């Protein structure tokens, strides 16, 4: 079972002016078959954590370590991280004009699996995964994310989760902007992949980054972490999410934060 270990991670974001420190000593361990919800107010650094793990060039790690099963993730290029089993479902998936979704999915699967999937089983696999997420088959021939609605983009991210079969999945505000139906479809997709990966003996570890507790009604977390000021300030079980639902983040951002 995979383990992602984040130790004392400090990250600067590169801006036009001076670099600005966003992450200030993140400690977090996510093992396979566990779902960790990372909750925090806007601007607390949740997305920076997600992008830093994926290796976005805008974010600069100044100290700390990240390992996946003991391997140094920070030493890997962006594509190496993905091939090592790390997946980031993005909050704002990028449009790639001219590249068809089907070609993109197959190229990505080929890269991650180390060989091209056999055509016949691949087509079946893609069609089944698209049907699960209620994605219209016409999307295969459309350019990646081009002209997709917000909900379609999010479903497309979860489609990639199902096809690329990562060991650790980071879902960055996958719930934001979704209506109830889309939220259910996307959540079902995540749960389905989690179950399938467990069945295959390589249960996925999930880092679910969210601002709201709403998605936690569909995806049950094992652990909940409150993120504020660039680090984890409190950890607990699902009951912590309930407290946030009732009281909001004020205890962590207002007077008495860090107390």
Q: Which residues bind another protein (CB under 8 A)?
A: 54-57, 77-79, 81-83, 88, 90, 93-100, 103-104, 107-108, 111-112, 143-144, 146-147, 160, 164
CB nearer another protein, residue 134 or residue 141: 141
| Minimum CB distance to another protein smaller for 41 or for 93 | 93
The nearest distance, CB 113 to another protein, in angstroms, is 9
Q: 181 φ, ψ to 5°?
A: -65, -45
Name the one residue in this structure whose structure tokens are 């974001």.
13
Side-by-side strand order, sheet with 168-172 = 86-89, 168-172, 205-210, 35-39, 223-228, 231-236
CB nearer to another protein: give 112 or 226. 112
- Shortest separation between residue 68's beta carbon and another protein, angstroms: 14
**Measured from the CB atom, is 94 or 259 closer to another protein?**
94
**Min separation Cβ 208 and another protein, Å:** 18
Q: Distance (Å, rounded) from C-alpha 203 to C-alpha 196?
A: 8
Query: Can you list the positions of beta strands (E) in 55-202?
Result: 59-68, 71-72, 86-89, 96-100, 143-144, 168-172
Block residue for tokens 């200030």: 24
CB of 230 to another protein, least distance (A): 22
């Amino acid at each position: 079972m995979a383990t992602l270990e984040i130790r004392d991670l400090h990250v600067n974001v590169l801006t036009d002016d001076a670099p600005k420190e966003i992450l200030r000593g993140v400690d977090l361990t996510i093992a396979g078959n566990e779902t960790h919800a990372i909750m925090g107010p806007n601007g607390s650094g949740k997305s920076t954590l997600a992008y830093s793990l994926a290796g976005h060039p805008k974010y600069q790690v100044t100290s700390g370590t990240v390992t996946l099963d003991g391997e140094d993730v920070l030493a890997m290029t962006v594509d190496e991280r993905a091939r090592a089993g790390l997946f980031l479902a993005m909050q704002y998936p990028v449009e790639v004009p001219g590249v068809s979704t089907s070609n993109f999915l197959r190229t990505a699967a080929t890269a991650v699996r180390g060989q091209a999937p056999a055509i016949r089983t691949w087509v079946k696999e893609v069609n089944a995964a698209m049907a699960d997420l209620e994605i219209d088959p016409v999307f295969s021939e459309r350019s990646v994310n081009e002209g997709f609605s917000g909900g379609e983009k999010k479903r497309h991210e979860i489609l990639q989760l199902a096809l690329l079969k990562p060991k650790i999945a980071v879902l960055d505000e996958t719930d934001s902007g979704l209506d109830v139906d889309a939220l259910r479809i996307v959540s079902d997709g995540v749960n389905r992949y989690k179950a399938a990966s467990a069945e295959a003996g390589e249960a996925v570890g999930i880092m679910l980054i969210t601002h709201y507790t709403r998605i936690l009604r569909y995806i049950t977390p094992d652990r909940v972490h409150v993120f504020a000021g660039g680090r984890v300030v409190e950890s607990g079980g699902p009951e912590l999410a309930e407290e946030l639902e009732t009281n909001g983040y004020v205890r962590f951002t207002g007077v008495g934060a860090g107390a």
